A and B are shown apart, each in its own frame.
Chain A
Amino acid sequence: MTASVLGFLAGEALRDLVRAGWIAISSVLLTTLSLLTIGGFWVFSTNLGDAVARWREQLRVIVYLKEEPAPAAVGALMDRIRSEGGVARIEFVSKAEALRRLKRELGAQAAVAGMLPNPLPASLEVTPRASASTPDATGALIQRLASMPEVSEVQGGTEWVERLAQFQRLLQLIGLGIGGVLVLAAVLTVTTATTLVLYARRDELDIMRLVGVPEAVIRLPLLLQGIGQGLLGAILALLGLIVGYRLARPGVEPLVSLTLGLPHMTFLSGTAIVTLLGSGALLGAVGGWLAKGRS
């Protein structure tokens, strides 16, 4: 197929889009709506995912000790904990260090604390290895640590991080569910718009078949105008997401950083953007292809 036919067919596709009129406009808008929904949920879930990853990374198990061990015994204790496996790092926090940290946090009120005898226990801060920071592995580690005779209490766990991760998955599912229904509606509307084009162009298509234009070449403009509708919808959705993100960010970011501990929000990744645009084009192509003519 020569470039001149392709150019001509692309021009035909554009004419078709105009001819399909308001149906084409509604399929573009439905595509926008569906991808906007999916994209919106995607942005949420991306940020939640970031938070989950961050929290997993920062996960600490705090092992409170019954008594402050002698400085010489600390190394041996840490070795025993390390031998439990799944441990990336251990930091010893003495009673005095714990008090220093508390004073630093309390700031002006530190004077009050200074008057009391040090009530804080010594502890070990255990960072599980990334591979071991699943809920099960961490739970097992906590149980083993708690059973050691020197240990009074073990704090920490992955529970709420996991709940966050589950919430993220739920959000993804809801987004895909609503988005999926809308995508289906968008595909059907593209199909309707394309069928309309087929009827508007049936004389031309008859002539094309009569003079021996291959069926693929006859279908190509239909496919192209479908892709055009889908892609246009996807671009509008992307613009909508960018504008929405820009508008919402100043208000939402402090909230997010407060609740999720994320220093800043992120927008969709390049891959996600390409996927979104590609989905629009694919949706339009499917819609265009599904349209049935008389032949």
Chain B
Amino acid sequence: MIALHRVSKVFRVGPVKVPALSDVSFKIGKGEFAVLCGPSGAGKTTLLRLLYRDELPTEGRIDVADYNLTSLPRSEVPALRRAMGIVFQDAKLLPGRTVYENIAFVLRVLGTPRPEITPRAFGALKAVGLSARAQAYPAQLSQGEAQRAALARAIVKEPMLLLADEPTGNLDEGIASEIFDLLKDIWSRGTTVLLATHQAALAERLNRRTLVFQGGRLVKDDG
């Protein structure tokens, strides 16, 4: 599903070069659940951004599913993104729309046939345990609920790969582990999951393959 071969990423800030990832190689198979762990600044976000082709690597080769990201033309990026769901630390819900509308919005802009939209949106809400809050506006949600809504929006298009960048960064430990459980639910239904988090203790309880990053280097991979 994912293969990195000697990937490096250097950001240029004016004349200054900031190395974010250095010589990273690993593979994640289809249907795996992998955790990217490491302190802030380790390069986790950069790695995920490379995977959804928000950035190109400075060196090395990246393959995601059938896409070689290093040579992927710009026009193919939407197709790659349609195959993956992405969630962030902040839920990025559209404030003017209800939870249901936020999820239906994705289906609509992707051209899903109209009769499918409502059942699929409610299916996704049910999967994250948020059916009762469908008509609430984002401002009325707790942070945990907002993150569930974001997860529902990410999985409603049935992606084969789910990328989660610190989805629990804002949450209390109890709620965070609920979200982690939810990610495991999603994974158990067949989606490959890649979770980036700095919450090492929580991640350990997931009991999944963990790749530890430090200063842009992959320092430990128990897979």
- Given A203-B94, A207-B105, A207-B106: A212 and B79 interface contact (C-beta under 8 Å): yes
Interchain CA distance A217-B81 in the complex, whole Å: 15
- Given A203-B92, A207-B92: A5 and B79 interface contact (C-beta under 8 Å): no
Determine whether B126 belongs to the interface, using a CB cutoff of 8 Å to chain A.
Answer: no
- The 0/1 profile, CB within 8 Å of A marked 1, for residues 87-121 of chain B is 00000101100000000011011111110000000
Q: Closest B-chain residue to A11, C-beta based?
A: B108
Interface size on B, residues (CB 8 A): 23
- Given A210-B81, A211-B157: A204 and B94 interface contact (C-beta under 8 Å): yes
Q: Is the CB of B110 within 8 A of A1?
A: no
Q: Closest B-chain residue to A208, C-beta based?
A: B109
- The 0/1 profile, CB within 8 Å of A marked 1, for residues 117-159 of chain B is 0000000000000000000000000000000000000000100
Q: Is the CB of B82 within 8 A of A5?
A: no
| Chain B neighbourhood of A215, CB < 8 A | 75, 78
| Chain A neighbourhood of B110, CB < 8 A | 211-213
Q: Closest B-chain residue to A8, C-beta based?
A: B108
Q: Closest B-chain residue to A12, C-beta based?
A: B109
User: Pick the contact of B111 from A1, A204, A206 — CB < 8 Å?
Assistant: A1
Q: Closest A-chain residue to B115, C-beta based?
A: A4
Q: Is the CB of A2 within 8 A of B106?
A: no
Q: Is the CB of B109 within 8 A of A217?
A: yes
Q: Is the CB of A4 within 8 A of B109?
A: no
A-B contact sample (16 more), CB < 8 A, given A5-B109, A213-B110 = A1-B111, A2-B111, A2-B113, A4-B112, A5-B111, A203-B92, A207-B105, A209-B78, A210-B81, A211-B109, A212-B77, A212-B78, A212-B83, A214-B75, A215-B78, A217-B109
B residues near A (Cβ < 8 Å) are 52, 75, 77-83, 86, 92, 94-95, 105-106, 108-114, 157
A residues near B (Cβ < 8 Å) are 1-2, 4-5, 8, 203-204, 206-215, 217
Give 19 CB contacts A-B under 8 Å: A5-B111, A8-B108, A204-B94, A207-B92, A207-B94, A207-B105, A207-B106, A208-B109, A209-B78, A209-B81, A210-B52, A211-B82, A212-B78, A212-B79, A212-B80, A212-B83, A212-B110, A213-B78, A213-B109
